[in-house]
Amino acid sequence: MQRITELMTSQTTLYDLNSALSRITKTQAQLSSGKRITQPSDDPYGASLAVQLNSQLDGLDSYNRNVNDGTAWTQATDSSLMSMNDIAQRVRTLTVGAANGTNNASNLAAAAGEVDQLTDALKQAANATYNGQYIFSGTSNKQPYANGTAGDAYQGNSGPGSQITRQIGPGATNTVTINTDISGLLGQGLTGPGDNGLLTVFETISNDMKTGNTTNLSTDLKNLDANMSTLQGLEANVGATESRLSLASSRIGDLQLSTTQILSNDEDVDMAQASIDFSTQQAAYTAALQASAKIVQSSLLNFLQ
């Protein structure tokens, strides 16, 4: 039989009470912080995962902001294109009216005056901005069309390198192009090198009205229709971009939810488990305290006279 001394009993008691208390303290810290991992050593792999997941969540947050910004941009684009469409429609109505040959010179001059106004309106629509940025200037951020009579040359850039994109996921290719190139649609007007863009057509219509050249007007009408169908094509593209962004937004939302859940599983404490642990540990600690209070108290001395 092992010989037991008082010091052994009290030291063992102290050690056991200490470890019981330290277990309780740990569980209590978990319960009050709600976190299973408060420092890397609690679970090195879990902590590293938490670091990565938190960074992923921040990334998703960024992508979400990008999508929202891209959506606002495409909406601005959409409304500009719609007003261009309205303008073209009005010009078309005027042209059809002017082409039927029953108008006198002053009627035609009035119609021509309105077409000139609409030409300016078209340029204004093309000069729309979002958040201080010209939405139709490529990446140059220059006002795409000069006001008034300064000529109709496109001031922005186009082609490769002029795309404005929004990152909707990790990786260099996970992007959506949000800007629309309208330089081809509008063309450079009659002062330009010669094209059949909207500006050229508008200006030609205005000139033909002024000169009463109704025969030309029907050719102009065909050119106008061709441009309007291009415009509608652009609108369809913008709509497609918007729906792609909206899909991306809901996908990011799903990812945020699932990542948050994984993170919570990883670093959050299982409250039910921790509560049960806590009461078990507390019961054990109380029992240990009671037992040691009795054992350590008594010795042979209590019974000697």
Partner 1 sequence: MTISSFMGLQTALRGLQASQEAIDTTGHNIANANTPGYSRQRVDMTESPSLTIPANSNVDGAGVQLGTGVDITTITRVRDTFLDVQYRAQNSNENEAQTQSTILDQIQTGLAEPSGNGLSKAMSDFWKAWSDFSNAPTQQAGAQAVINAGQTLAQTFNTVDAQLATVQSQVGQQFSQLISSSGQVQSDASQIASLNKSIAAAQAAGQNPNDLLDQRDKLLDDLSSLATTTSSVDSQGMLTVNFGGAPTPLVQGTTVSMPTATDLTPTSGGQIGALLGLYDAAAGGTGTIQTSYRDVLDKIAKQVNDDVNTAYQAGDPTVPDFFEWNPVSTPAATIQVNPAVTALNVRAGSNPADPLGQDVADAIANLKGQGPDQAYAGFVAQVGSDVQSAQNAQQTAQSLLGAIGNQRQSVAGVSLDEEMTNLISYQRAYQASSRMMTTIDGMLDTLINHTGTVGL
Considering beta carbons, is residue 51 or 109 the nearer one to partner 1?
51
Residues in contact with partner 1, shown as a per-residue x/- string from 275 to 294 under the rule CB under 8 A: --------------------
The torsion defined by the Cα of 193, 197, 203 and 208, in degrees rounded to 10, comes to 100
Report the run of H or E that residue 222 belongs to, with start and end. helix 214-267
Q: Running DSSP on this structure, what letter comes out for residue 128? A: -
CB of 231 to partner 1, least distance (A): 23
- Hey, what amino acid is at 7? L
CB of 47 to partner 1, least distance (A): 5
Tokens for 149, please give them. 């009579």
CB of 14 to partner 1, least distance (A): 10
Tokens for 304, please give them. 């000697």
CA distances in angstroms from 167 to 139, 163, 172, 246, listed in the order given: 16, 13, 8, 14
Candidate list 28, 59, 235, 285; residue touching partner 1; CB under 8 A: 59
Angle CA 222–227–231, to nearest 5: 145
Tokens for 146, please give them. 């000069």
CB of 282 to partner 1, least distance (A): 22
> Is there binding between residue 25 and partner 1 (CB under 8 A)?
no
Candidate list 25, 61, 226, 261; residue touching partner 1; CB under 8 A: 61
What is the C-alpha separation between 136 and 299, in angstroms, rounded?
A: 95
Candidate list 100, 102, 106, 172; residue touching partner 1; CB under 8 A: 172
> Is there binding between residue 133 and partner 1 (CB under 8 A)?
yes
CB of 131 to partner 1, least distance (A): 6
Buried b (16+ CB within 10 A) or exposed e, 96-118: eebbeeebeeeebeebbeebbeb
Candidate list 28, 140, 177, 259; residue touching partner 1; CB under 8 A: 140
Candidate list 55, 79, 264, 265; residue touching partner 1; CB under 8 A: 55
CB of 249 to partner 1, least distance (A): 15
Q: Running DSSP on this structure, what letter comes out for residue 197? A: -
> Is there binding between residue 42 and partner 1 (CB under 8 A)?
yes
Buried b (16+ CB within 10 A) or exposed e, 224-245: beebbeebeebbeebeebbebb
Candidate list 167, 180, 200, 249; residue touching partner 1; CB under 8 A: 167
> Is there binding between residue 41 and partner 1 (CB under 8 A)?
yes
Pairing of strands 165-167, 175-177: antiparallel
- Cα 231 from chain centroid (whole Å): 26
Pairing of strands 129-130, 133-134: antiparallel
> Is there binding between residue 131 and partner 1 (CB under 8 A)?
yes
Candidate list 13, 141, 223, 292; residue touching partner 1; CB under 8 A: 141
> Is there binding between residue 40 and partner 1 (CB under 8 A)?
yes
Candidate list 152, 220, 242, 267; residue touching partner 1; CB under 8 A: 267
What is the C-alpha separation between 182 and 187, in angstroms, rounded?
A: 8
> Which residues of the shown chain bind partner 1 in the complex (CB under 8 A)?
2-8, 11-12, 15, 37-45, 47-52, 54-56, 58-59, 61-63, 65-66, 69, 131-133, 137-141, 157, 161-162, 164-167, 170-172, 175, 267, 299-301, 304
